[in-house]
């Protein structure tokens, strides 16, 4: 009887991941680890990568989620598409990493609500940059 609870937990985590990714503004990026932490499981960056790989929802900007240190990470084997999507949003991308990563890194301000956690930005723009 634990399998349904595990599946439920996994889909709740996936929903939190997708919700966090939808909040990344155009022209900004977040790491798999950043998103894992926002979704409540800071050590689950690999799981975030799997969720991104399997996401087919065009409303989720999976291309804005990158590896640690600004590396592009995966994109289901289509790194050139990820690179072009980021460039179209004004992100400067080299062959394997985002240039100016720390400046472009999205840092939302988490806040608690009665329903649980959500994210807000002091400017209303979905996040602020540190650095």
Q: Active-site residue numbers?
A: 62
C-alpha angle with apex 86: 82 to 90, nearest 5 degrees? 165
Q: Are strands 116-120 and 65-66 parallel, antiparallel or unpaired?
A: unpaired
Angle between helices 2-22 and 45-54 (to 10 degrees): 80
CB 11 within 8 A of CB 88: no
Q: What are phi and psi of 98, to 5 degrees?
A: -80, 130
- Helix H or strand E segment including 30: strand 30-31
């Amino acid at each position: 009887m634990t399998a349904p609870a595990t599946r439920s937990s996994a889909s709740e985590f996936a929903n939190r991941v997708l919700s966090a990714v939808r909040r990344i503004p155009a022209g900004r990026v977040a790491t798999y680890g950043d998103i894992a932490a926002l979704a409540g499981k800071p050590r689950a960056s690999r799981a975030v990568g799997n969720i991104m790989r399997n996401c087919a929802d065009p409303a989720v900007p999976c291309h804005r989620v990158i590896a640690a240190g600004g590396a592009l990470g995966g994109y289901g084997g289509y790194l050139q598409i990820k690179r072009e999507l980021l460039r179209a949003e004004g992100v400067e991308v080299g062959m394997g990493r985002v240039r100016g990563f720390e400046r472009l890194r999205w840092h939302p301000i988490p806040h608690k609500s009665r329903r649980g956690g959500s994210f807000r930005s002091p400017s209303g723009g979905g996040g602020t940059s540190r650095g």
